[in-house]
Structure 1
Amino acid sequence: MIADDHVLMREGIVAVLAGFDHIELAGQAGNGQDAVEQFLRLRPDVTLLDLQMPLLSGFDAMMSIRSLDRNARIIVLTSYKGDAQVGRALKAGAAGYLFKGALRMDLETAIRTVHAGERYIPPELAAEVADYFACDALSGRELEVLRLVAEGNTNKEVGRQLAIKEETVKAHVSAVLAKLGANDRTHAVTIAVRRGYLDA
């Protein structure tokens, strides 16, 4: 099954799938809510799921599907290469991660790998994903602080918005810098965007 809100993307995947032996398209969905409903109705062996969809995000749709069927095999489709996004998707239960720009080359391998019960991660991402899981991920509070810092707030302003002391904000900022290997706040924001902790 394909779940993507872009009709042209779905049509492109359908065209690529048509060239593969023994792979049959079970159905399509245009948003996250539809993806969950179609999954329940069709019970596909493998689901291709876009992360950015209306009504229900790809992450939320995946969580819903996985709560209904722990054995659901889901390949995340994305144009974003941040290792935090990959790590989050894999932790949420994705069995594969596929770049939209590499569908023609990697789609068949990804589907067959995931259908066989294994994980598929593009080779160019494998090292980054290993690093992501090896390092300390940012905590929820650290992400909140970093988002507010990215908006240009001072430590004092961040503290006021989160109802925490300025010293606590400084401690969180220091922890973020250490975990991301950043030199300063601006560098931390740049790294966080590149790695997928923050949206560009």
Structure 2
Amino acid sequence: MSRPPVRILLVDDHAVLRAGLRLLLEREDGLEPVGEAGTAEDALRALPRLDPDVVVLDIEMPGIGGIEGAARIRERAPGARILVLSMHDQARDVRRAFDAGADGYLLKSAADEDLVRAIRAVASGERYVHPSLGAALAAPPRDGLLDRLTAREREVLRLLALGHTNQEIADRLVVSVRTVESYRAHVMVKLRVSTRAGLVRAALDGGLMEEPD
């Protein structure tokens, strides 16, 4: 007796991409795309009706997004496997996805070649990580001190590390120089550093210099 096909829910806010993935999967024996969703919220509403075995999920979407979406899907459909399909190749993004409950992580640039393999892997209970991400994941995690900073403190730290003066930061953030100095003081206390060089090193170690401007 043949095994039932793997039921797949495609979740991405780009309809053209979803259509392309569906066509790719429909050509494969044993795989059955059963539905599509443009947001994680739509996917959550569709779960009871579609009962997917695998949810293929983008990270960057309107609404709660893929990371929070993965966590909620894991809560509501613990039997479903989650494969994140993302353009982001940073180790921190991969770790965030797995921490949220993902079972696999595949780069969109490799979807044509490796999506079927990744879906079959997670459907069979394996954890899948695209091979090109292996080196990044092998590196030790970033220091967690930056998690203590607020979003504005992180931005001030990043701008300081990029060489901006307090006045330039104040102009950019539309705040007073005194406010920038206060943020800077709070950051130095939280990160336990006492020099600008220490701030730059903390920003580098925390990956802030890799974030988009």
Q: TM-score range by the shorter chain?
A: 0.7 to 0.9
Partner Cα separation in structure 1 for residue 199 and residue 132 of structure 2: 26
Give every structure 1 segment of 4 or more consecutive aligned residues whose post-TM-superposition deviation is greater than 4 Å: 151-156
**2:135 counterpart letter in structure 1:** A
Bigger-Rg structure (1/2): 2
Larger mean CA deviation between 140-149 and 68-77 belongs to: 140-149
Q: State the TM-score, normalizing by the size of structure 1.
A: 0.79
Structure 1 unmatched runs, 5+: 176-181
Partner Cα separation in structure 2 for residue 189 and residue 137 of structure 1: 10
Structure 1 residues 1-200: aligned runs within 5 Å = 1-133=9-141, 136-142=143-149, 144=151, 145-151=153-159, 153=169, 157=179, 160=182, 166=185, 168-173=186-191, 184=200, 188=204, 191-192=207-208, 194=210, 198-200=211-213
Check conservation: 1:27, 1:42, Cα contact below 8 A.
yes
Tell me how far 1:126 sits from its aligned partner. 1.7
Structure 2 unmatched runs, 5+: 1-8, 171-176
Measured at CA, do residues 36 and 108 of structure 1 come closer, stay the same or move farther in structure 2, by a change above 3 Å? same
Tell me how far 1:141 sits from its aligned partner. 1.4
Q: Give the number of the structure whose residues are more often strand, by fraction.
A: 2
Deviations 1:137-159 (A, max 9, x none): 45521464323323564897457
- Report percent identity of matched pairs: 33
**1:14 counterpart letter in structure 2:** R
The RMSD of aligned alpha carbons is 3.1
Q: State the TM-score, normalizing by the size of structure 2.
A: 0.75
